[in-house]
Structure 1
């Protein structure tokens, strides 16, 4: 599941709860290596027929370009998917930090007593879009989660917040 509640940490004002959210990776690192290897083998298979002929040297650059293109596209996908959202709930503050791709960081904080969780069935970028409001602005949480995961996350967030009120 692309989110998890970490064990509470003791704090001077009670336990601090933490939630980590990240995008689902459908192709793990090991799968990446296997996919590139299988693609190289399947593309190279027709080249076996032309080994020893000058046609091989005409086809080889296209083989290398295709493999390099797949490699670059998958690496870019991995880099763009390096997102981590961290929600920390202390005694009197709620912090949401989003670590985006290429080191971008966004912070938001509010008093948990005033934070409202809103689910937007329609009208957001994704169905059942979750937002937190109560500070200086409204922020999204878990937009990269699947619809079912957002529906599961909402009551868990409400329960964690109600325990702080």
Structure 2
């Protein structure tokens, strides 16, 4: 039978805390290293016009969807009648939800029905952070989750 002395108990206790601290430090450094950054520089300033911008964007009554097939990102924007919308300008960043390492700026082209752009992907959860200007000048911003097989 093994007797647990004060010294042995201390070593077991200290070893358990060492494991916990090591794992916590590893997770903290991993989180900071992969942090994609801030959405806005100053959330207070960004919030001042949020209600008006949201109301203007909802008034457009657009339905937006994105899908990737065979390394082609297809973005469809339709109005309330289901007709495709051609915007004044369209910008976006396509990348992983948790890291900026795979971020890409798609070169969208309107084909009469949708916007298409070649992208490099692998399976998993991707985001398209979209910014467009409607034909009437209204700003449209949306983050679209794209699941790639």
TM range (shorter): 0.3 to 0.5
TM-score by length of 2: 0.34
Which structure has the highest strand share of the two?
A: 2
